[in-house]
Structure 1
Amino acid sequence: MSPEENVATISGIYEAFAKGDVATIQAAVADDVDWAVDAEPVAPWYGQRRGKDGVASFFADIASSTEVQDFAVEGIGASDTEVFAFLRFAVRLKSTGRQASFHLHHYFRFGADGKIEYYRGSEDSAQVEHALAS
């Protein structure tokens, strides 16, 4: 796939996330995708997931625990097999009512079939942990 096609795929995923359309996201990932955000289990959506069901549970955990207030791509770069994205993200945590605003860093790797086979995300986990503290 070309860098432009890969960026289009990731842009489509971000649009689907904004609409709550997890099925579109699942269609873009490999059956055995390796998907992870941050190492420490501070937030419900943190941790490693595998496969389409794991991706669905990741987005379900975000939806059940946050109200997204801002989600915007600030920069994106790509090669024939990878996409890196830098995003602005703000949420209100449902459990505490507190808000957190920070940047997200996303890395996607595509397989030969054009599906996402590997994803890693990071964010300011200290802000998230503070917002989750009661």
Structure 2
Amino acid sequence: MQNVALIQSMYQAFGQGDIATILANCTDDIEWSLHATVNAPYIGTVRGKEAVQKWFGQLAASDDITVFEPREFFGGTDHVTVLGFQKARVLPKGGEFESPWVHVFNIKGGKVSRWVGMYDSAARVKAGG
């Protein structure tokens, strides 16, 4: 399915640190939200490509992601839901944590118009985050 292939290519870009490709596959008015109970700079909702680029910078400055695995893809006509797993270390001197996660992408005109993510933020808190 075309939408699943789009999202898989965006995860591949993320794995290579290619944020420009991710942004190129988003609408100009993208809404990007990560829901969690932890107080980290990347929690909340941002809008627009510039804000999403800043979000990725905040994520990189806060968590050293050592394992990031999108495992299952569920595609629809205008959305893709992905179940995955990650391991990370809280920066600057926190411990390691691991968490399953869920990402939901809405697709409009062949580009991502909304992303919603959720993970086990309690695991990050226990690791010192």
TM-score interval, normalised by the smaller of the two chains: over 0.9
Question: 2:76 maps to what in 1?
Answer: 79
Q: How does the TM-score come out when normalised to structure 1?
A: 0.90
Q: CA contact under 8 A between 1:95 and 1:132: conserved in structure 2?
A: no
What CA distance in whole angstroms lies between the structure 2 residues aligned with 1:127 and 1:39? 11
Q: Which of the residues 42, 47, 70 maps onto 2:39?
A: 42
What CA distance in whole angstroms lies between the structure 2 residues aligned with 1:28 and 1:11? 12
Question: 1:9 maps to what in 2?
Answer: 6
Q: CA contact under 8 A between 1:40 and 1:47: conserved in structure 2?
A: no
Q: CA contact under 8 A between 2:34 and 2:45: conserved in structure 1?
A: yes
Q: Which has the higher strand share?
A: 2
Aligned residues: 129
Q: Which runs of 5+ in 1 are unaligned?
A: none
Moved over 3 A (4+): none
Give the Å deviation of 1:85: 0.2
State the identity %. 31
Could you say what the CA RMSD is over the residues aligned between the two structures, in angstroms? 1.3
Question: 1:122 maps to what in 2?
Answer: 118
Q: Which of the residues 98, 115, 132 maps onto 2:128?
A: 132
